[in-house]
Structure 1
Amino acid sequence: MLIRRVGLAILLTALVGFSPARAADEGACPRAGTLGVSRTVEIDTTGGPGFGMEHYKAYDFLQDKEVVLTFDDGPQKYTTEAVLKALADECVKATFFSIGKMALGYPEIIREVAKAGHTVGTHTWSHKAIAKLKTFDDGKDEIERGISAVHRAVGGPIAPFFRFPTLVDTPEAVAYLGKRNIAIFSTDIDSMDFKPQSADHLVTSLMQKLDKRGKGILLMHDIHKTTAKALPMLIAQLKAKGYKIVHMTAKSPVTTVAAYDQAIEKEAKGLPQIGAERPVSSIVKTIEGTPPAGEASSSSGGEPEGMPTSPPPEAASSAPATSPLPAFPASPSASSPQPPAPAATPPAAPGKQSSTESGKPEGVISDGEKTTAEEQAILPIASPVATVSSIAGVAPAARVSIAAADTSPIKTVSGAAPGATTAAHAVVASDNTDTLGETHPAQPPKSISEKLKETWRFWFGE
C-alpha cells in the first residue's frame, strides 16, 4: 500500500512538473511549433521610400523564402477578428493598411490590431482612387483625413506607412508623401482575394505565385470572408514549405496635421480620447446573476495601471480592460503648413464604403487593379530598413543602436540577418525582457522536493 502511495505521489509530481511547461507553451508568443516571426525590420521613412516590386523597385529587402503579410481596407467586424485570431494562433505579425472611415466605425477592432503588436498604416479616408480625383487638394484631403482618422481610432502612434487605393499613384501624391516622410507600399504578390473564389482556390493560387517568385510582400484584404477563412490554411502552407515571416515596423510614428485632426472629430461619433476610457467593469457592475468572466477577474485587481482615475462621465466605452496604448505622437509645429479643414462628408456605414469610382458594387473594395502609368522614381535615402527583433523561439533581444555611417538600405540588428553579421548587428539577449524592452521578474522554479511535499500534503496531509 505504501509503495502504491509513493508511486502515486511521484506520478503526480511529474504531472505538476510538466504543467508549467505546458502552460508556457500555450501562453504568449513565441511558442514552440508556431510559424512565428523570423525577423522584424525597422523602416526609416524619411523621404517617403517606396516598397513592393510591382511599382517601386528601389528597396527589395526580403531574402529568399521571406514573406510579409499585409491586409487592406479594414477593419471589419468578424473578418478582421478572424484574421487576428489566425495570426495569433501562429504568433505571426502583419501590417494593416486601414481606411479612415472603417477605423472610426470599428475603433475597438483597430485597437485590438495595434494591441496585438501588428503594424497599422493607412489607406486614405474613403478609398477614393487619388489619380481619378479632380485636383490633388482632394487627394491630399483623402490622405490626411485617413491618417488623422486611423490615428484617432487607434488612440496611439501609427506607422507612416501608406498604400494607394487600386495601387495607382500620381507624381504629386508621391512627392507630397515624400515631404511628409511617409513610406509608400505597393506589393510583390497580389492575392486577388476580392474575386469570387473558394478559400482553397485562394490558398492554391497564392502559393503558386509565391513558389514561382520565392519571396514577397503579399497583398490581401481583411474585409473578405474568403480571406479570413483561407488565412489559417495559408499560414499552414507557408510553414510546411519553409517560408519565414518578416514583420515591418517604422522607425518613428507618423505625425498628424492638426487641422485634419479637428476635421475628423465630428466623424468620431463620441469616441473618447485616448486615456479617457475606463474599463467597463469599473463602470457597470453585476449585482444580481453571474458576472462575465472579464468583470469578475478585473473587480479585484482594480483598473489597469496607467488608466485615469477620474475621466469625464461620457468617457464610458467598450474598450477592454488592458494596458493603454502609448500616447499620441507630437503634432506638427506651428511652422508646418496647415491645410484648411475639408468639407465634411457623410460617413458611410462600416463595411459599406462607396467604390463607385472604380466601378465596383458597394461594399467591395480592392487593391487588385494594376496601374498603367510609369513607375514613380524614388530617390535613394539612407538606411530605410533595419531588422530589430529575434527569430521566433529565441529569447527576445534588446534593441541596439545602428552606426550612423551605415548607408545600406537594410540593417540587421538581431534575428536571422541576411548576409554576414557585423559588430553593428550585435544584440544582447535577456530571458526576462519582452519585445518592447520591458523587464519582468522571473518566477523561481520549484524544486522536486517542494513539489513532492506539496503533492504529499494534498493527498495524505502533514
Structure 2
Amino acid sequence: MGMRARIGFILSAFLIFPPAWAGADETCPRAGTLGISRTVEIDTTGGPGFGTEHYKAYDFLQDKEVVLTFDDGPQKYSTEAVLKALADECVKATFFSIGKMALGYPEIIREVAKAGHTVGTHTWSHKAIGKLKTFDDGRAEIERGISAVHRAVGGPIAPFFRFPTLVDTPEAVAYLGKRNIAMFSADIDSVDYRRQSVDHLIKSVMQKLDKRGKGIILMHDIHKRTAKALPVILAQLKAKGYKIVHMTPKAPVVTLAEYDETIEKEAKGLPQVGAERPLSSIVKTVGGTPPKNEAADSASTENEESEPEGMPASSLPAFPSAAPPATVPDASSPSPPASGSLPDSEKHSENGAPDSGSATNDPAVPAAGMSSRLATQHTADSASAPPGSTAPASPAQAASVVRTVSADEVRNQAAAEPSPGNMAPVTAHEAPKAPHKSLMERAKETWKLWFGE
C-alpha cells in the first residue's frame, strides 16, 4: 500500500471512528468539571444588599458555596482568558462591567452574556460616588454605566450594581432602592489589583475562603494575573469540595431614556447588536485575487444564512418601557467625557489602590447610531430589611429575596423566552454547543494533528 493510500485509510478511519478526545462532547455539564451546584433567582425590589463585608441582611450561601464575581471589564485577552477558564469547568459567574469598557469592547461583553454569565454594572467610569461634588454626578455615573453596558450587550442585563472601591453613600443606597437595583459588596476580596505573583494570589484567595468556609469572591477580569490564576483556583475549589452558585435576577434592569440618549452620543455610530453585516457581504473583490480571508468568508456564506456577528437579532427579547418614575429625581446628564478606556488615575481596585502590575489598554471606542430606547424603571416599596442593614434577615425575608431555581424551571423558562445570556440560561449547567464541523474540516484537523501544517 502506497503512502497516499495509507494516509487516506488513516483519515477515513478517524472520520468514521473518531477517538473520544477528538470528538468529545463540549456541552455542559461534563464529567469531571466543577459545574454549578445551584442557580438562585434574586428579587431586586427595594435594592437589597449582598456581601457581608458591607451588607449582612441577606447571606444566602450555605457552607462550602461560592459565588464568583469579576469587576472592571471587559478587557481584551484577560476577559477572554477568564471566559475560557470558566467554560472549561462549566462554571457561571457575575461580571460587574464598567460602561466605558463595555462600549470599548462590545464584542467581548456580548460573549460574556452569550456564555450565560450574569452581567451587572460598575458605574460609567469607575469614579467613587462619595467623592463626587453632588449626587447628581453620582446618579449620572450609575445610570450612564447601566445604559452603556445595556447598549454594548444589546440585550437584557441584571439590576446588579457594585460600588467602585466598595464605598456607598446614603443617597446612592436610597436611589438604587427606588430603582430596584441590588447592591453587591463581597465576602472575600482577592486584592488581585496588587502586584503579586500568580502563586501568591491563588494561595491568598484559597486561604481566605478556607477560613470563612463560603462566600462571594471579588476578582477583576482586567488583570492578566487573575486570568492565569483562575484555572488553578477553580481546580482547587473542585478538589476541596466547594460548590459554585450562579446568581440571576428575577427581572432585567430597565434603562432611563435620557441616559440612553447620552450613551448614543458616546457610541458614535456603533450599530445596534444584530444590525451588523458580514464584511464579505459588503466588500467583495471583483478584479484580481481576493485575500484568503475574503475567499474563506465568501465560501462559508454561500451555504449559510447571512447572520451578523455577535448575538442574532432573532434572539433578542423586546425591551420593556414605562413612564419615567415620579419618585426618581430628574437631572440633566453632565457633558460626556472623551470616549476611551478607564483613565489612568481611575485604574484602581475596589479599595482604591492603583494597579501597578497590569494597567488596562485604552480600547478604541467604536462610533454610534442606534435610535434611543425609551425605557424607565418603575418604583416599588423598599424591602423589609433596608439595604446596608447589619441585622440579618429572617429566613422568611431571605426566602422572599433569594430563591433557588430548579433545573426544570430554568429549562422551561429558556424554552418560553429565549435570551442572549443571563436572563434564561438553557440549564443550570449548560453552555452553548460547539458548532457542527463538516467532514472536510474534521479531515483537515486530523491531518494537522498527525502531520502538522
TM over 0.5: yes
Q: Which amino acid is the alignment partner of residue 76 of structure 2?
A: K
- 1:62, CA displacement in angstroms? 0.9
**Corresponding position: 1:339 with 2:330:** yes
Could you report, residue by residue, the CA deviation over 1:304-333 in whole angstroms, capped at 9, with x for unpaired residues? 4xx7xxxxxxxxxxx347575523522331
SS in structure 2 at match of 1:42? strand
Contact 2:100–2:342, Cα closer than 8 Å, also in 1: no
Which residue of 2 is the match for residue 248 of structure 1?
Answer: 247
User: In the alignment, which residue of structure 1 is the partner of 2:304?
Assistant: 301
Farther off after superposition, 277-286 or 26-35: 277-286
| CA shift for structure 1 position 78 | 1.0
Q: Deviations over 1:100-127 (max 9, x none)?
A: 1111111111111111111000000111
1:388-407 residue pairs with structure 2 within 5 A? 388-390=405-407, 397-398=411-412
Q: Give the aligned partner of residue 106 of structure 1.
A: 105
2:319 to 285, 307, 329: 329
The within-5 A match list for 1:10-159 is 25-159=24-158
The structure with the largest alpha-carbon Rg is: 1
Query: In the alignment, what sits opposite 1:376?
Result: 388
Return the structure number with greater relative CO, CA threshold 8 A, min gap 6. 2
> 3-state DSSP class of the match of 2:400?
coil
Deviation, structure 1 residue 355: 1.6
What is the CA RMSD across the aligned residues, in angstroms? 3.4
Q: Relative to structure 1, is the Cα distance of residues 382 and 216 closer, same or farther in structure 2, using a 3 angstrom cutoff?
A: closer
Contact 2:273–2:313, Cα closer than 8 Å, also in 1 = no
Shift of the alpha carbon at 1:31?
1.6
Q: 1:204 and 1:323, CA in 2 relative to 1: closer, same or farther beyond 3 A?
A: farther
Rounded to whole Å, the distance in 2 between the matches of 1:193 and 1:90 is 21
Alignment CA distance shift 1:144-1:295 (3 Å): farther
1:330 aligns to what SS in structure 2? coil
8 Å contact kept, 1:189–1:218: yes
Match of 2:427 in 1: 435
Aligned to 1:453: none
Distance 1:94 1:356 in 2: 22
* Residue 285 of structure 2 corresponds to residue 291 of structure 1: no
Check conservation: 1:259, 1:338, Cα contact below 8 A.
no
**Structure 1 stretch 261-270 or stretch 215-224: which is displaced more?**
261-270
Corresponding residue for 1:360? Answer: 354
Distance 2:161 2:325 in 1: 24
1:191 aligns to what? 190
Aligned residue pairs, count: 371
Amino acid in the other structure paired with 1:332? A
Q: Which residue of 2 aligns with 1:369?
A: none
Residue in structure 2 matched with residue 349 of structure 1 by the alignment: 340
Unpaired runs of 5+ residues, structure 2, are: 1-8, 361-386, 415-424, 433-453
Alignment of 1:195-210 (within 5 A): 195-210=194-209
Structure 1 residue runs without a partner (length 5+): 1-8, 308-318, 366-374, 401-432, 441-462
**TM-score for the superposition, normalised by structure 2:** 0.73
Bigger mean CA offset, 337-346 vs 290-299: 290-299
Report the 3-state secondary structure (helix = DSSP H, G, I; strand = E; otherwise coil) of the residue aligned with 1:264.
Answer: helix
Summarize the Cα distance change of 1:184–1:321 in structure 2 as closer, same or farther, 3 Å threshold: closer
d(CA) in 1 for partners of 2:409 and 2:63?
A: 24
What is the percent sequence identity of the aligned residues? 66
Deviation track 1:10-63 (CA, whole Å, cap 9, x = no partner) reads xx99995776x7677432222222111111111110111110011111111111
Letter in 1 for 2:164: P
TM-score (norm 1): 0.72
Residue 402 of structure 2 is aligned to residue 385 of structure 1: yes
